[in-house]
Structure 1
């Protein structure tokens, strides 16, 4: 039987409230790798935002930008960029309304405006610096995910105007922009097919609204103790929070690690 595969969200899952990787999580991931179990990052972030996490955890495989860009052992296996014309239409609309955009490629990410309070707030929540501004970045490289920065009172007009996009809220005034039907689950399915791993041998850990599809499509979905109620309802198992050894405890709970794991 092929070894299992485990997919980990980043924010609120691999990272604790301080945006750090707990020692117990580093130990747990290392123990999985020692067993030959595949460890994969599954995130809404663009790759440049989590290189440091890959390095600390020795993970070379990921499902990035909510399933839009997938890499296994450092090699691209799936890429689904957003239609450039539709993205330009959306960009023009946000510019005319004074709202902000971000454009995420497989190499970098740029934003449409400088000193925008909602962009600043979104990246502050990730503990990342304000990105470089390039309002035409989407014309230079394939863009796999956008961000919309506007207040909730303004968001509905974008939802109505762009029914071919999904808008997933991840901060008070920030939404991921994806083609309709895109999700982490789509990227995960691509990886399972290529590796010929059966669904029942797949596990996923998550906490947010963009994890719902992932948690329900794998063999065992694990919600963090700090997860939103929707994620807890979608999961098969609920572990402790990301700040209280949630990854380690969850892996023990689903039988992938022994109960007597020590952190030394």
Structure 2
């Protein structure tokens, strides 16, 4: 990520979610989104990624847009330019507790560090239908944007998954920041909240699974909102002048701390109700329309 070193004094600080906001179904980006982000930066505004993904899991096409830094792992890490300025990993005892909970309840899971995602055994077998569904939706997305659909998208998605996820045995359990789980049961999020909520922040995930449930787990107090507060303090910038744009429940705390919150048109209606503004959906120029309405471009 390349940083703007001398933003205009009247510029705003914008935090943009990735999945469902910049990206749809893993890799499809509306061209207007790229234009909006680059145009806002050219106009002197700072634009930061704000994602639940690990730093090492940010899609190259997103990274290539150009940002002033990023919040990753749902608030556990943050960079200004290329400098890591926020780092909140889980204590090892908490990681062991999470893993024990997943194993005891037969839940498949991922552990995220700053650079990598590690998958428990059995994840790929369960995700097979999800991968096929995502490949089909990607083809629909590309047609919607008038882009090439001749690539074997199922093979592309499977190759992407194999590249993104490492075996759990390779994980350094002293460097874990966040967990993501997938389950065949529909009530796993509520059960995890009841079983782990004393020490952890448990929220619904955003994977469009054909059934079951998925969620994200982080230590209490570590979220996108807390990281934004830390980044703004380091930048010497006002939260009142900050903008947050997102579509998922891990964006709720971001909405609470910024002066202007924007929910995507594809966001859950309950999340939209918490936002100051609602824009159009991710592939219907949602980011571009929000930036225009806010006077960023």
| Structure 1 position 241, deviation (Å) | 1.0
| Structure 1 position 137, deviation (Å) | 1.5
| Structure 1 position 62, deviation (Å) | 0.5
| Structure 1 position 153, deviation (Å) | 3.2
Is the alpha carbon distance of 1:120 and 1:215 closer, same or farther for their aligned partners in structure 2, counting shifts above 3 Å? Answer: farther
| Contact 2:45/2:296 (<8 A) preserved | no
Q: SS where residue 87 of structure 1 aligns? A: helix
1:250 aligns with 2:284: no
Whole-angstrom CA distance in 2 between matches of 1:38 and 1:167: 30
Decide which of 56, 63, 79 is 1:55's aligned counterpart: 63
Match of residue 183 from structure 1: 223
| Structure 1 position 71, deviation (Å) | 0.7
Matches of residues 74-89 of structure 1 in structure 2 within 5 Å?
A: 74-89=82-97
Unaligned runs of 5+ in 2: 1-8, 136-156
- Please list the CA deviations of residues 71-107 of structure 1 after superposition, one character each: whole Å capped at 9, or x if unmatched: 1101011111112112112212322333212111111
Q: SS where residue 44 of structure 2 aligns? A: coil
Q: RMSD of aligned C-alpha atoms? A: 2.2
Q: SS where residue 168 of structure 2 aligns? A: coil
1:235 aligns with 2:243: no
Match of residue 14 from structure 2: 6
Q: SS where residue 96 of structure 2 aligns? A: helix
Match of residue 144 from structure 1: 177
Q: SS where residue 248 of structure 1 aligns? A: helix
Whole-angstrom CA distance in 2 between matches of 1:123 and 1:191: 35
The more displaced of 98-107 and 112-121 is 112-121
Match of residue 193 from structure 1: 233
Whole-angstrom CA distance in 2 between matches of 1:76 and 1:70: 6
- Please list the CA deviations of residues 168-192 of structure 1 after superposition, one character each: whole Å capped at 9, or x if unmatched: 1113522111011221111111110
**TM-score, normalised via structure 1 length:** 0.88
| Contact 1:167/1:176 (<8 A) preserved | yes
Decide which of 184, 201, 219 is 1:166's aligned counterpart: 201
Is the alpha carbon distance of 1:209 and 1:115 closer, same or farther for their aligned partners in structure 2, counting shifts above 3 Å? Answer: closer
Whole-angstrom CA distance in 1 between matches of 2:68 and 2:126: 32
- Please list the CA deviations of residues 185-229 of structure 1 after superposition, one character each: whole Å capped at 9, or x if unmatched: 111111100001111211111111111111221011111111111
Count matched residues. 256
| Contact 1:204/1:215 (<8 A) preserved | yes
1:205 aligns with 2:251: no
1:218 aligns with 2:253: no
The more displaced of 172-181 and 63-72 is 172-181
Decide which of 22, 35, 44 is 1:27's aligned counterpart: 35
**TM-score, normalised via structure 2 length:** 0.79
| Structure 1 position 135, deviation (Å) | 4.1
Unaligned runs of 5+ in 1: 258-264
Is the alpha carbon distance of 1:154 and 1:24 closer, same or farther for their aligned partners in structure 2, counting shifts above 3 Å? Answer: closer
